[in-house]
A = this chain, B = another copy of it.
């Protein structure tokens, strides 16, 4: 049993599709939820960790034996990832990691701008004391995580902050959609954060936004959110261009093309 790749056959050409696949983080420990979502998490982490790369074909059977579960939950989790656009299935051939293109990133942030800028404006107006406390808490948590260098915690706090603002604005659908978009750009973000050192900077970027929301200044909050998202977009688009081996210029041009009058019109 175990993985069939372990049968002492170190064939020199590991270039054929799906030969290597370094032992995936066994899914064993986390008993919190269904196996399918554990598989989703594991695959996402494997992608961010660079253990699975785009352009290569993997198979359900392969992952299943690597994770020591059956094919059913693996297939289920992968299908859900596929629906989210993270992987793509090729009928009877396997699936591959979808490379997030710079255009995708720019589009995603255009959408997020359209949704989150008005949300920030509304949050500044509508937030009650309890909600403001929650915003403050997550803000502090983010700075805390940044100081400790804890990437994952910082990402969680960042997500929580944006989520809270959207919730306060009162649109649950927008919360859902933004969260969905976020998972697509997530690994890019992690890679970007590890390759550089903008953790403090990233946390600090939220400061004006949070301050404006706490002060109830609607227009300033909207402006701060727009600036924050634009900054993040530039960073991640550049990262995506880099990952594609494109001569990492054209960042401004790409974001401008997709955004257009967004920055002015919203």
Contacts and interface: CB of A to CB of B under 8 A. Distances in A.
Interface of A: 76, 79-80, 83, 85, 103-104, 107-108, 110-111, 114-115, 118, 121-122, 125-126, 169-174, 176-177, 180-181, 257-258, 260-262, 265-266
A22 B65 CA distance: 42
CB-CB nearest 7 A-B residue pairs:
A107-B173, A114-B114, A107-B171, A122-B260, A108-B173, A111-B174, A111-B173
A181 B258 CA distance: 21
A111 B172 contact: no
A224 to B, nearest CB: 16
A111 to B, nearest CB: 5
B177 A111 contact: yes
Contacts of A108: 173
A107 to B, nearest CB: 4
A181 B170 contact: no
Given A83-B83, A107-B174, 17 more contacts: A79-B80, A104-B172, A107-B170, A107-B172, A111-B115, A114-B114, A114-B115, A114-B118, A114-B174, A115-B115, A118-B265, A125-B260, A170-B258, A170-B260, A177-B177, A177-B180, A266-B266
A110 B83 CA distance: 24
Interface centre among A262, A265, A266 (most CB of B within 10 A): A265
Contacts of A121: 261, 265
Nearest to A126: B260
26 contacts: A76-B76, A79-B80, A80-B80, A83-B83, A103-B172, A104-B172, A107-B170, A107-B171, A107-B172, A110-B171, A110-B173, A110-B174, A111-B171, A111-B173, A111-B174, A114-B115, A114-B118, A114-B174, A115-B115, A118-B260, A118-B261, A118-B265, A126-B260, A169-B260, A170-B257, A177-B177
